[in-house]
Amino acid sequence: MGKFKEALTKLKKSLEEVQPEIDKIYGGFESTLKSLTNSGLHFSGGYETAYMYIVEKLKKNNETFANNTSKTLKDVLDPNLAKFIQEIQGARQTALKHRNDYDRLRKELSTVLKENEAVKTQIAELKKSLDKKKKKLLQTKNYKAKVANYEKTLGELEIAVGEWDSMLRKPPDVLSLKFLENSKLSVATTLQDIQDAAGMQVDAEIKEAETNVTNNFKKFRARNVKNQLEFVKKWVAEADEMENESGEGT
């Protein structure tokens, strides 16, 4: 196997690995954020249910919620309310787990970035090597018409991989999700805290992350290199012959 074919084969393998890796990670972002939204809604909805239950319970005792805001959950606790609290805590833990999954995926992008940088280097080296062979290849019967396609394919790959690089260097932001971190229930939680939490919506942070991930993923998919990869595969098959024609065969 000549050096040029070896380099092309290496590029083919890299492209076959990197593109699916990015696709898998961003697909993971999308599904994780969807799960995070669902568990976040369950979490905030649980507070609303608990609040309404307490309002009705106090009303049955001829009391108003407004006059009991300083009381704690311990003062009004019963089996039904205990169940609501358990569900809220479960939804919170599930949401935090999804948040941790999201942050793990962010870290995986740094590994793919290094792999993508290697692909950029491979393309640059192949372009340089092709430039050296170009003059002689243009004088051959079999390859003079193919040189333009070789250059076009490497140019398109260079642009696509460069855009992947930009995307990978700006991964989705870390999610702090303070609305979850600061909402730890206990028997000491006041009814005022319950009322405040009942009016809470799923944090806008999640929605912003969903938008960023979706936009990035669209850009990545728009730069699919399936056609270029297929061309590289065919190029690999004729690489040794091409190199011999250029007078640089090994």
Tell me the C-alpha to C-alpha distance, in Å, between residue 214 and each of 57, 66, 250.
44, 43, 47
Nearest CA-CA partner of 238 in 140, 155, 161, 116: 140
Backbone φ and ψ for 96, nearest 5 degrees, come out as -65, -35
Q: For residue 207, what are its two tokens? A: 């929605």
At 142 the pLDDT is 84
Alpha helix segments (H runs only) across the chain: 3-60, 73-76, 79-137, 147-168, 178-181, 191-198, 204-222, 226-245
* Centroid of chain to Cα 96: 17
pLDDT in tens, 107-145: 999 899 999 999 999 999 999 999 999 989 998 888 888
**Which tokens is 217 given?**
């993923």
Which of the two residues, 33 and 247, has the higher pLDDT score? Answer: 33
In angstroms and rounded to an integer, the radius of gyration of the C-alpha atoms of the chain is 29
Read off the pLDDT band of 248 (50, 70, 90).
low
Q: Which residue has the tokens 């993508």?
A: 116
Residue percentage of the chain with pLDDT more than 90 = 64
- Per-residue confidence at 249, pLDDT binned at 50, 70, 90? low
Which candidate, 159, 136, 169, 165, places its Cα nearest to that of 4? 136
pLDDT digits (tens, 9 = 90+) for 87-112: 999 999 999 999 999 999 999 998 99
Q: Please determine, for residue 250, whether its predicted confidence score (pLDDT) is greater than 60.
A: no
Q: What is the pLDDT of residue 198?
A: 86
Predicted structure pTM score:
0.81
198 vs 202, residue with greater confidence: 198
Mean per-residue pLDDT over the chain, rounded: 90
Nearest to 179 by CA among 204, 156, 142: 204
DSSP string, 147-198: HHHHHHHHHHHHHHHHHHHHHHTSPPPPP--HHHHT----TT-BHHHHHHHH
> Which region, left, alpha or beta, applies to residue 172 given φ > 0 means left and ψ of -120 to 50 means alpha?
beta
What does DSSP assign to residue 72? Answer: B
Predicted pLDDT at 179? 77
CA 83 vs CA 94, 109, 113, 246: distances in Å: 17, 40, 46, 78
Distance CA 237, CA 107 (A): 37
User: Cα torsion at 215, 216, 219, 222 (round to 10°)?
Assistant: -100
Would you state the structure tokens that stand for residue 34, as one six-digit string? 């969807």
| Banded model confidence at residue 152, pLDDT cuts 50, 70, 90 | very high
Distance from chain centroid for Cα 92: 22
